[in-house]
Structure 1
Amino acid sequence: MKTELQVPSNLSFLTIVEHWLLSSLEVELGEHIDWPRQSNRLRLVLAEAYSNVIRHAHKDQPHLPVLIRLEIQDRDLALEIWDYGQGYHTEDYNPPTPEAKQESGYGWLIMNRLMDHVDYSLQIDGRNCLKLEANIPEKVQ
């Protein structure tokens, strides 16, 4: 199953984006998933990715759309978040440390810890793509 959603760069659409993602997954995967655990994980990752686009990539440009694509094959999920920003060079990333008491930089860490694979591609047809992949395990009975 493949589906996509295009939304404005506005945090007031976050609830709509989360609902779209979780509803799409429930339709495709049914009741064989531990939804409380998986929905919390996916909502956090999606909120972090979407808010980063709004706060950083599309800063002061709310007219720019955010494209979100979802593909599910069996229980393998691929989520892409596309933006028009300048891009972020992941090789410049330094993970936060407790003693540094820094206020930013946690999003990349969170996404990498909660997903099986995270990839960021700069400037593909004028856009950047954050790709998040995970296997959604079946519910343990």
Structure 2
Amino acid sequence: MASNSPKKADYGKLVRLQIPSHPRYISYTRNYFFNLALDHGFTLYEAVDLKLILGEAISNVIKHAYAGHTDKPIFIDFLFEREKVQVKIRDYGIKTKSRDLKSSDLSDYRESGIGLFLIKQLTDYYFLDESFEVGNQIVLIKKK
């Protein structure tokens, strides 16, 4: 006999996506991640934060790593664990160094540049993995 109760989320579950570096895919990817976060026990507010930071991170890849090119690959891993989610966003574009990251404070606000500030404020931990010869990987961690 089948149970009608909702299934509990699988923890330690990795979801891997590849999207093109076209801005139209940002919304689809954000919405997909929002729903995944809700399915994995994040509150509505936490899921909204996650949706926002993912969009900012993908926008940064398109703008900075791929210089606006819309046909380059972006790889995204979502690793859901019991108390947190880890997101890795990987590109093969222009290499960035941690010291080059700017605008992590609102006093440095320009027409653009608030993305990194939001990422810093809305994640529990983030870092730029500089171990790759080509491209970049940013790692974002958000606890429940």
Residue in 2 that maps onto 1:65:
73
Identity %: 23
**2:9 matches 1:16:** no
Task: Tell whether the 8 Å contact from 2:34 to 2:48 is kept in structure 1 after alignment.
Answer: no
Distance 1:93 1:60, change over 3 A: closer
Residue in 1 that maps onto 2:43:
34
* Structure 2 unaligned residues grouped into runs of 5+: 1-12
Tell me, in whole angstroms, the C-alpha distance in 1 between the residues paired with 2:88 and 2:54: 10
* Structure 1 unaligned residues grouped into runs of 5+: 137-141
**Displacement of 1:48 after TM fit?**
0.5
RMSD after superposition: 2.0
Distance 1:28 1:83, change over 3 A: same
**Displacement of 1:93 after TM fit?**
3.7
Residue in 1 that maps onto 2:9:
none
How many residue pairs match? The answer is: 131
Task: Tell whether the 8 Å contact from 2:77 to 2:88 is kept in structure 1 after alignment.
Answer: yes
Distance 1:76 1:16, change over 3 A: same
**Displacement of 1:22 after TM fit?**
1.8
Tell me, in whole angstroms, the C-alpha distance in 2 between the residues paired with 1:53 and 1:101: 19
Tell me, in whole angstroms, the C-alpha distance in 2 between the residues paired with 1:72 and 1:66: 19
Residues 86-97 of structure 1 mapped to structure 2, 5 A cutoff: 86-95=94-103, 96-97=105-106
Residue in 2 that maps onto 1:139:
none
